Amino acid sequence: MTRHRFTVTLDVQGPVLSRAVATGGLGIDALALRDRHGRPALPGTLLRGMLRHAWGDIGVAPSLVQQYLGGDVESALKPDKEPDAYRLPRAPLRFAEHFIADPADARAGFRHRIRVEPDTGAVTGGGLVLIESLFAPGQRVRFTGWVELRLPADADADAAAGATTDAHREVDADHLRRLRRLLEKGFAWLPAVGAHKGVGFGRVLGAQVAVACAHTPAPAAGRPAAPSILPAALRAVPEGAASAPFAVGLKLLPEAPFCFPLPGPKGSLGNRFRSADAIPGAALKAALAAVWPAGRLRARYFDSMRITQALPAQGEQRPLAVPASLAVVGATSHAQLADFALHPASALKQDPAPRFAPDWKAPERRRARSRCGWPDPPPERALVVRNAIDPERGTVRFNRAADGGLLFSMETVVPDGCLWLANLSIPDVAAADRVPLLDLLESLLKPGLGPLGKTRVFAAVEAAAAPWRLRGTGVHDRLLLDDGRCVLSLQSRALLLPRGLAIPCVNGGAALAQAYAAAFHDLSGGSLALQDHFATEAFGGGNYWWHDARRRAEPYQPVLLTEPGSVFVLQAAAGRHAQARQCLAEWLDRGIPPRGLPLLGGAQAAPPAWRQNPWLRENGCGEVALNSSLHLDAPPPATGVFAETEQP
């Protein structure tokens, strides 16, 4: 995949205002937007939307606008749309997060705006606005950013097959020249940018678009660019083996803040998105799917390839999901963390009673996350607000009946100070395919992975020769403890419970335990039995699932997913320790397989498995940790009245 980046410079006449989502001092109503380094900025999404309107004004064909900027989101929000309307074409053009001005040109200053009563001509009550103005009236300011084009996948497929000729390169050069001219025309057509355009703010004096250049992301952690991403040791095949698995650790460095929304309410309440800390494995695999060329290697290996979620880290280990069996014991002044997975009875001998995760306050939660290897302090969050602009009036479009979803906010994760660690593995690679497959992965990973999340960022990639270990694991190689037990903790969501499971709303613990016992019995072929569990669940489904179910015979029904941090104590069946170890080793390498496939589709022509069930272990779901050192610590002694009664 080739990425071509155009450098865009806008000459703007002051004053300029693009409002920041921040609170100013007392009496200040609007602050100017700055990037995370404090430089004056215009948001790239603002210029992207204005470019769409400008191209429409100057007569660019709608098909060409959609080709470069993607489908029209407004048409996808109509309540009577078909399910396929959700699948809008992806836009190959990406815009910088911010277009930056030289901070040396900025100054500290404020301007006033007032609202006048039309009848009296006097200032409206409360109609005095104080806004920050970084640039003087008439001052010429240059905002510089980039627009990046990702070439279509078929061109990359030709390149991978060695079919790229001088003529093909010339066609690509003509394509880039035409796009550069379109960008220059569109940006030059803009009358003004930012807020208060109608009263002379942000007047555009000119625009320059530099010739595109091939772009390769900077290596992670400031390291010099490596000639190869995948270690050379991976190319060696075990002697005499016709096939062998391979696994690598991926180190990702996102180039800008990202957002992967947590599940939550949709529709009228869906205009606030909270982001997860991790980058889902499904998103990383989808980014590879978009550029992986069709052919034998894709047909044979892509579906079986597994990519785990990328977790934030400040070292060489991935953090462990905080176990549900972890609790805070003791009085507040002498509180300590203790895990009760192997010793649940000792939790009943604590005075005061242990406080598990649902009862934790912020300091206790932060202490537990730090012990499990999560970055402390955690990655910074930044709030971003987006809206739709009326192309006729140039103001925010708002219609309570139809356009309520066009104003929304995103909580984004700022990647500074952290790396995101994931593992990529393919279980069975033929010896003859190993080198071609590694060459292909090298070519796909070197330009970076993306676009990712709602902000469509790219991430630079480096690889390690071995998968990254989870915090507190790998201390020993025992899959089973001496007494035949194993402590399994989920690191990502897993589909373990059957559809339609009925659990009483009161005293339903026995029914839930029975369902989990049946799940592990079936998944292990009877070699493992559930002894105890500490688990939390959440519903999975939502709008996409509902729309897909509309075309099926069965009615919509959300599924019950087991959450990360859930802990299960398993006991090997008598005489079947070897089978139990083999099953646990397979789960450790590949994750727990989901139950109940297919969830959608029935007897119809089978669609791809990920359409039937998005919670596949190949997408990073069902990742497990076994016998973490956190679970193997000795239980705390009885305290309070229980300690007194146990004395001889």
Domain locations along the chain: 3-214, 220-319+380-464, 327-370, 485-627
C-beta separation of 19 from 8 below 8 A: no
Q: What distance in Å separates the CA atoms of residue 627 and residue 480, rounded to the nearest whole number?
A: 8
DSSP conformation class of 291: T
545-569 burial string, b = 16+ CB within 10 Å, else e? bebbbeeeeeeeeebbbbebbbbbb
The mean pLDDT value for 53-78 works out to 80
Question: What pLDDT was estimated at residue 164?
Answer: 39
Neighbouring residues of 570: CB distance < 8 A, sequence distance ≥ 6: 485, 486, 487, 488, 520, 524, 528, 529, 530, 531, 580
CB 275 within 8 Å of CB 463: no
Model pLDDT, residue 270: 63
Please state the three-class secondary structure of 222-279 as a single string.
Answer: HCCCCCCCCCHHHHCCCCCCCEEEEEEEEEEEECCCECCECCCCCHHHCCEECECCCE
Higher per-residue confidence, 580 vs 498 = 580
Give the per-residue pLDDT at 224.
44
More confident residue, 551 or 93: 93
Amino acid identity of 83?
A: P
**Which range is most confident: 59-63, 391-395, 418-422, 610-614?**
418-422
Is the pLDDT score of 223 beyond 50? no
Q: At what angle do helices 153-160 and 166-189 cross, to 10 degrees?
A: 160
CA distances from 550 to 180, 554, 606 (A): 44, 8, 17
**Helix H or strand E segment including 547:** helix 543-550
User: Could you count the other beta carbons within 10 Å of the beta carbon of residue 442?
Assistant: 13
What stretch of H or E contains 284? helix 281-289
Average the pLDDT over 631-642 and give the result: 76
What's the CA gap between 369 and 346, in Å, rounded?
23
DSSP state of 300: I
pLDDT of 549: 66
Query: Please, which residues have CB within 8 angstroms of residue 144's CB and are 6 or more apart in sequence?
Result: 7, 8, 9, 10, 99, 100, 101
The backbone region for 542, taken as left when phi is positive above 0, alpha when psi lies in -120 to 50, beta otherwise, is left
pLDDT digits (tens, 9 = 90+) for 25-55: 777 888 889 988 889 999 998 999 999 999 9
The closest alpha carbon to 41, from 263, 157, 193, 225, belongs to 193
The encoded tokens of residue 175 equal 């394509």
pLDDT tens digits, one per residue of 316-334: 899 999 999 999 988 776 7
Q: What does the pLDDT read at residue 639?
A: 75
Q: What is the pLDDT of residue 625?
A: 95
220-319+380-464: CATH number: 3.30.70
CA-wise closest residue to 406 among 75, 26, 110: 75
Is pLDDT of 635 > 90? no
How much is the pLDDT for 168? 38
| DSSP conformational letter for 428 | E
Tell me what pLDDT residue 366 has.
93
Residue (of 92, 75, 98) closest to 4 by Cα position? 92
Report the distance separating Cα 410 and Cα 384, nearest Å. Answer: 5
Cα–Cα distance measured from residue 433 to residue 518, given in angstroms and rounded to the nearest whole number: 39
Where do we find the tokens 């104080």?
A: 130
With 0-12 / 13-18 / 19 or more C-beta atoms within 10 angstroms meaning exposed / middle / buried, residue 484 is middle
d(CA 591, CA 305): 12
**H/E stretch holding 583:** helix 577-590
Q: Which amino acid is at 338?
A: A
pTM of the prediction?
0.85
Q: What is the pLDDT of residue 302?
A: 94
Average pLDDT over residues 527-548: 85
Percent of the residues in the chain that have a pLDDT greater than 90, as a whole number: 43
Neighbours of 261 (CB within 10 A): 15
Q: Measured between alpha carbons, how far apart are the two ends of the chain, in Å? A: 74
User: Which of 611, 610, 612 has its CA nearest to residue 598?
Assistant: 612
CA distances for 430 relative to 11, 75, 123, 256, 463, angstroms: 57, 47, 78, 38, 21
User: Rg of the chain's alpha carbons, rounded to an integer?
Assistant: 28
Confidence band (pLDDT; 50, 70, 90) for 387? confident
- Report residue 633 as tokens: 């610590």
Contact (Cβ atoms closer than 8 angstroms) between residue 435 and residue 235: yes
Picking from 306-310, 356-360, 391-395, 527-531, which range would have the lowest pLDDT averaged per residue?
A: 391-395
Phi, psi of 5 (to 5 degrees): -115, 125
Residue that has been written with the tokens 């678009």 in this structure: 209
